[in-house]
Chain A
């Protein structure tokens, strides 16, 4: 199956600092990746769509200056949480879309647990 990795798996940082999370598709190329956030006992919430070589598309209510997304290659997208605050503490999950013919399938990374103190 298709493999997507995330790094780091967990991070603890002080309030006001920035944190970068990497998402990599290991065995396929992905022109499109997605970033989700998940709070305890809740479903995944789509934050933004990351497009290789172009600007990310953010969902309503997600601050683009707060959550910087860079999709510099066909296998790597990064999410930077800038000036993190305790309310940004969450489980961040990325996915990469693999296209085979007309069929698309999203494969998810293992997630990154962010704790802002």
Chain B
């Protein structure tokens, strides 16, 4: 299981673009990279998932370099409601043995 490393916390302001980078040096060939958002007393919410290059949805973008040893979650024009903990996880290959292990996550604080 690939171990991930993220900054413990980040601060930003409303309207700014926020980029959170995650390191996963031991990512396996078939592993996907998935990002989740968690608010207090709620379950993690799926944000985006990718395998390589760039993935974009209505909420965020995910940038994955060619070596796939890191990834960057990009949140455009954040608002106060984006204050949450963000988790980067790797895994998700088609295997009955695959499971997702959570790291410490990044606590993002957005200020007015």
Contacts and interface: CB of A to CB of B under 8 A. Distances in A.
Interface of A: 1-2, 4, 6, 31-32, 34, 36, 43-46, 49, 51, 91, 93-95, 99, 101-111, 113
B45 A34 contact: no
A51 B96 contact: yes
A45 B94 contact: no
Main secondary structure of the interface of B (DSSP, over half): loop
B26 interface: no
Contacts of A49: 99
B98 interface: yes
Interface in B22-81: 30, 32, 34, 36, 41-46, 49, 51
Contact of B100 (A34, A94, A102, A103): A34
Contact of A43 (B49, B98, B103): B103
Given A46-B102, A49-B99, A110 B32 contact: no
A55 to B, nearest CB: 13
A32 B101 CA distance: 15
Given A43-B103, A45-B102, A105-B49, A32 B93 contact: no
Contacts of B99: 34, 46, 49
B16 interface: no
A59 B36 CA distance: 22
Highest count of chain B CB atoms <10 Å: which of A4, A36, A93, A104: A104
B94 A103 contact: yes
16 contacts: A2-B46, A34-B100, A43-B105, A44-B44, A46-B101, A91-B41, A93-B44, A94-B43, A95-B43, A102-B94, A104-B94, A104-B98, A105-B46, A106-B46, A107-B46, A111-B42
A99 B91 CA distance: 13
